[in-house]
Chain A
Amino acid sequence: MTAQRTVATIQARLTGPRRLRTELLQEVADGLEDATEAYQEAGLNAADAERRAVAEFGDPRKVADQLQEEIAARHGRRSALFIALCFPVLILAWDLLWMTGLVPPTPQPAPAVLLNNLLTWIAVTTTCGALVGFLLLYFGPRVGVAGIPVTRAIGVLGWLGTGSTVLACCAMQFTQPNYADRMLNVPVLSVMVLSLVLVVGVATAAQRCCALATAP
């Protein structure tokens, strides 16, 4: 196997942000080039020097798997922070509508109150889970916590959080007959658009966490 083939084998097994992948591959290629040069300077011919450098490198598939773990963990850490910020923002934005009187206060039926509490509980649980995931991915390498399972867990948490939030919001429509009418004003529509953007953002980050944690 040549140095070029070794790098190509790693490249084929890596998924994730292009910039980080390129950086990792460049570093590996530089290392192989430096090793080959060192052996040439020690007296080996070019072919033998490259062969020895590649042989000492080890199994490129194992190296790729370890690099993939780092790619996944870095994405997982960013995603965890994003999720931990999104859910409090969602809850705060909706609460502000009621607190500022932009939505006229009306007596809420018991199921609506229950769903409202459920939404708060989902947001708090998801935020806490994401913060724990962030800390595990930050301090985990210091105590030997593997990055892949934590990243996968953050992905699952993101999916559960967004899925249950969307379901609870849909159910809310049925508990209040005039709910949709009260939504037809600019502040409420703005918060709805913000919520949609955040939910899609969290779902996308969660999906990427799951994908990166299961690759290749």
Chain B
Amino acid sequence: MQTVYIYIRENPEITLVQSGKRPGAARAGVACLGMNTDAIRGHLDGLLLAVLESGPLHGYGIIEALQVRSGGALDLPTGTVYPALRRLERAGWIAGHWDTVRGRRRRSYMLTKAGNRALETERAEWIRFSGVVGSVLGGTS
């Protein structure tokens, strides 16, 4: 059985058509659109909180989720995710614990209540910001 992911450009959602293989394989097949790293860094905390909203994930699972949800557009050095996770843990926004994932010991992270509130704030600010910038950059109709 093979996993097939379809990336719909107009609606960047990844659809799992058939299960049975690691999602990482799909991530490897997603083309990297190379979004500016500096642009991402300012929103890294929010992005990490957002991918943890659906449930606990381990380090590489978070990287996969970021890539899959962005359709491969996030060109972020994967190594920077680990210190960022520890920083968010120190802030009390996520909680980390060692877990067994597919028979291996992995450190998993989950969103805390404070993290949920932070995500809501980040999301609201982003919607407001993107709305304002979009209305200006979108030009006059």
Residues in A neighbouring B26, C-beta threshold 8 A: 42
- CB closest residue in chain A, given B118: A142
- Which A-chain residue is minimally distant from B88 (CB atoms)? A141
Among B78, B83, B104, B118, the residue within 8 A (CB) of A35 is B78
Evaluate contact between A30 and B107: CB separation under 8 angstroms.
yes
Docked complex Cα distance between A204 and B30 (Å): 50
Secondary structure of the B contact surface, majority rule = helix
- The answer to whether B59 touches A38 (Cβ under 8 A) is no
A56 on the B face (CB < 8 A): yes
From known contacts A58-B78, A70-B83, infer whether A41 and B25 are also in contact, taking CB-CB under 8 Å: yes
Q: Which residues of B contact A60 (CB under 8 A)?
A: 79
Size of the chain B interface, CB-CB below 8 angstroms: 34
Instruction: Assess the B28–A27 pair: CB atoms within 8 A.
Output: no
Q: Is A139 an interface position by the 8 A CB rule? A: yes
User: Which parts of A184-209 form the interface with B (CB within 8 Å)?
Assistant: none
User: Within 8 Å CB of B88, what residues of A?
Assistant: 141
Shortest C-beta distance, B91 to chain A (Å), equals: 4
Are B90 and A70 within 8 A (Cβ)? yes
A52 to B83, CA, bound (A): 21
Picked from B22, B78, B82, B92, the residue with its CB within 8 Å of the CB of A37 is: B22
Known A42-B25, A141-B91; judge A34-B78 contact (CB<8 A).
Answer: no
**Interface residue B123 (Cβ < 8 Å from any Cβ of A):** no
The reply to whether B60 and A31 contact each other, CB–CB distance below 8 Å, is yes
Task: For B61, list chain A residues within 8 Å (CB).
Answer: 34
Closest to B85 in A: A27
A38-B28, A141-B91 known; A58-B118 Cβ under 8 A: no
Chain B: which residue is nearest A63 at the CB level?
Answer: B79
Which A residues lie within 8 Å of B25 (CB)? 38, 41-42
Q: How far is the CA of A188 from the CA of B78 in the complex (A)?
A: 58
Interface mask (B67-82 → A, CB under 8 Å = 1, otherwise 0): 0000000000111111
Q: A residues within 8 A CB of B104?
A: 30
B60 touches A35 (CB 8 A): yes
Closest to B84 in A: A66
A-chain residues with CB within 8 Å of residue B79 when the two chains form the complex? 6, 28, 57-60, 62-63
Partner of B80, one of A37, A63, A77: A63
Contact A139 B28 (CB under 8 A): no
Binding site for B on A (CB under 8 A): 6, 23-24, 26-28, 30-31, 34-35, 37-39, 41-44, 52-53, 56-60, 62-63, 66-67, 69-70, 73-74, 77, 137-142, 147
Q: List residues of chain B with CB under 8 Å of any chain A CB.
A: 21-22, 24-29, 58-61, 63-64, 77-84, 86-88, 90-93, 104-107, 118
Q: Please list 18 pairs of residues, one from A and one from B, whose beta carbons are closer than 8 Å in the complex, sorted by A's number.
A: A27-B107, A34-B24, A37-B24, A41-B22, A42-B24, A52-B28, A57-B79, A59-B79, A63-B82, A66-B80, A69-B83, A70-B90, A74-B90, A77-B90, A138-B91, A138-B92, A142-B91, A142-B93
